[in-house]
A and B are shown apart, each in its own frame.
Chain A
Amino acid sequence: MSSALWFSLVGAALVAIALYGVFAEHHPLRRLIALNMMASGVFLVLIGLARQLPGRVPDPVPHAMVLTGIVVAVSATAFALALLRRLSRVQQEEG
């Protein structure tokens, strides 16, 4: 039960919790937070896999994937928030 595997399992649990969050919640902001958590969960699984390599230095490819993933996740979140802001303003104007 190496720590890498443990963190991968934590990541898997995070994905599961986030999946529940995405579908059980109804406010878009909460679903967005759940999605971000799901991303973190997936990245945990990814980096957990990197550590299982027998060699001393961890495998850098998952690290690069996670870095790219984080930036992509944050851009998507930013756009989703802008969309939510715009939606609520339009809802307010249209009454």
Chain B
Amino acid sequence: MNSGLLPLAVLLTSALAGVVIFLLRERQHRLRTGVNLTAALLKLLLVGLLLNGVLQGREYTLRIPFTDGAELLLRADPLALLFLSLSAVLWLITTIYAIGYLEGAPHRSRFFGFFSLCVSATAGVALAGNLLTFLLFFELLTLTTWPLVVHRGTEKALRAGVVYLAYTLGGGTLLLLGTVWLHTLVGSTLFVPGGVTDPGGQISAATWQAIAALLLLGVGVKAALVPLHGWLPRAMVAPAPVSALLHAVAVVKAGAFGVVRILYDVVGIERAVALNIAPLLAMLAAATIIWGSLRALEQQNLKRRLAFSTVSQVSYITLGAAMAGPLALIGGLVHLVHQGLMKITLFFCAGNLAKTLGVHSVGQMRGVGRRMPLTMLAFTLAALGMIGLPPMAGFVSKWYLGLGALEAGHGGWIAVLALSSVLNAAYFLPLLYSVWFRSPLPQEEGEWQPVLQRGGHETALTLLLPTLFVALAALLAGLFAATADSPLAWAELIVRREYFR
């Protein structure tokens, strides 16, 4: 039975940490940081244990009775581990970053409380063994991230919060309807690698399409597919660690992860292709990729540009999954990790710029490389990765996606991938050029803050080190992709073991 307790322990570490932090008073900084970091490290350790346990093929399942007809199921399968390890690692780093970023800000107990609860919800989403558990934690994710979005309490933040709730609760309702409908027809919503078994065959094609549509749209809100992505740019009003969390670690990734789960473990990829659900989804993903990149081009605010870039980047994962080929799926899954690493670096850099120099818009970034070389180095690395240039991680996932497109024989997807890389270049390269090769604007126009010197470093260490660490991780993930314990290897293991034997 102890094998069942490990997933629960992973879940509870951050949940209990959240509750404890809620009870701490505002001025107990050291205690709060201590609780935060120990919880993050403990969680990392537990995830490590899970990782090599699953590697050796051990089963980790935990059943909790929900109602007599249905039960909650936590199961650590390789796909879950991919997302779980990403969120555990990035949670630790983002916590360190947030501690530095929110120095002296009000309501930090509340912030870190919801922050930890949000990560435990993400862990729940990853470890969910059936659609009901997935839905439960998916909705919990909404509840725990909404307070973070409106954390500042300004009128703008509240309006963003309203939009965020409207979208996510709407999505949640669609997901609920799809789940209940499936549960009523089949009696259980267990994730089964070839798709839910439908013994009696009572589910007609049309019903399957309706259920798949409901589930995918429900999850699509968080995966920021085109018509449903409206909340993401507006949620930029939240402080930088929250944007990092929302875009790189938790919410958007949960959406993409959900798409993969539903396509492969609920509908089943053969049925999805047969009922042309997958092709439709692929088209929607392609449209999102192009649309996201185009909108990113015209954004002047740095964080909004990164937000739209996330909209398009996440759809790579959806596209990879929807192309229904082993290579494409590997590309999609590994992009889940790589995009996480690269995007979080970009947000950390944006946060540093905003925090230390008060730089928000793209125009103000001229020549900032001289002022903050290390941050800008990380920024450059991540940007190149986003475009997909070797040796960054981005290249690896785009490479596999390209192979997948070839394998599936769709000329169109390759064109989309190429076009999007060009567009990425279009909105990142000018930025890099102006950062390194343009001289900074004269003092009064550029409104740079007076130089915030912290013992000779360009910005606070707690802001700088996390940025460098994730940039390095993105580089290493690209360089050592071929080795045994890289994200790519894990993605291949998932695909070979679970979906395409």
Q: Is there any pair of Cβ atoms, one from A and one from B, under 8 angstroms apart in the complex? A: no
Interface residues of B (CB under 8 A from A): none
Interface residues of A (CB under 8 A from B): none
